[in-house]
Structure 1
């Protein structure tokens, strides 16, 4: 550990030395780190309020403290793996951000149990693509065409994620927890699904090819 500390930048070395030092100093530095993690968790939760409007007040504060506490345990458990590729605080903040994502996902399913997909969700689908049926075809026909595109062009996995994210409005964090994957993987799958649907609509005359000018 002494060799590691000597190789770190001054601030990171101070953190590692304090967190592995005498009990009194260690407790003081742990309390300081916990306070920083709580602030980061609150900031991250606030940033994600647009996709989690149901989270506020005491509930938000409680979730932030839970995320900070669990992140703290993970940081202390993995302190020996810190190699100084980034500043210690940057490394530590990643833990709390991951905890926020996981807890948001689990919390969502507790307050929003799965429900059957309503027909109205399909009616809103053109809006989710930013399409104005008045410029193309009547809404009912466009909705039917998009339904065929979903059935005929998407894989089962793409249909599942597209339905959850685009039609049901499930937050990425919640779906990532439920499926045991990550936000980036889900985003890429849904992006590819939307591209396939748009290509189907263009090929079948429901949309103009992008960049062709007049509609």
Structure 2
């Protein structure tokens, strides 16, 4: 498909989804089918590593396609035509599948969300030849601040969300808290962590505007 055909196809999608009545219903039905196909493929790809099978995967794919369709409808005016419309739309459903599967996994498995696995933190640094020692030193400094300077609550939220990648809403549910409350805890933890690393010379101080 050449650029002209892509532009025409993009306009067709936007026009039909922005219409009313049977035109919009037909467009939504067509797009949902495409979104579900992508969601099913993405969910299946992720399922084995999360130990999810059968009906769970199917249910998530349907939910993700439906939610993505709603999000696309709300944000139709943000599409700028810089890519194929379907490419733009598929990003919504792929993101939604990832979010839903991670949330499902953490909610239905007994996970050590406060486990201090520093190897996970170390793996974030792609140290090149000769940089391994420097990266290890920085991780040691970070872990020291987390252990000794953060409050118990700050340490738990930081380790769960930043190091162990527990979704914030899943953690809030486990702790009987809210996303906003935990975001505030995480913000304070990051602020304190940075201040300590600056004072120890591991990070540069932020310049005043």
| TM-score (structure 2 length as normaliser) | 0.55
SS state at 1:33 partner = helix
CA RMSD of aligned residues (A): 4.1
Q: How far did 1:80 drift?
A: 2.1
Matched, 1:48 2:46: yes
The verdict on how the C-alpha distance between 1:116 and 1:127 changes in structure 2, with shifts beyond 3 A counting, is closer
Aligned to 2:17: 19
Aligned to 2:88: 91
Matched, 1:70 2:62: no
Structure 1 unaligned spans of 5+: 1-7, 131-146, 181-188, 190-215
Larger radius of gyration: 1
Match of 2:35 among 34, 37, 42: 37
Q: How far did 1:23 drift?
A: 1.9
Mapped contact 1:105–1:177 kept (Cα < 8 A) = no
SS state at 1:56 partner = coil
Matches within 5 A, 1:66-215: 66-115=63-112, 151-152=143-144, 170=164, 172=165, 174-175=166-167, 177-178=169-170
C-alpha distance in 2, partners of 1:177/1:89?
Answer: 29
Mapped contact 1:37–1:93 kept (Cα < 8 A) = yes
C-alpha distance in 1, partners of 2:157/2:21?
Answer: 51
Matched, 1:60 2:52: no
Structure 2 unaligned spans of 5+: 1-5, 124-138, 172-178, 180-189, 191-209
Mapped contact 2:114–2:156 kept (Cα < 8 A) = no
Count of residue pairs brought into register by the alignment: 154
SS state at 2:36 partner = helix
C-alpha distance in 2, partners of 1:116/1:84?
Answer: 41
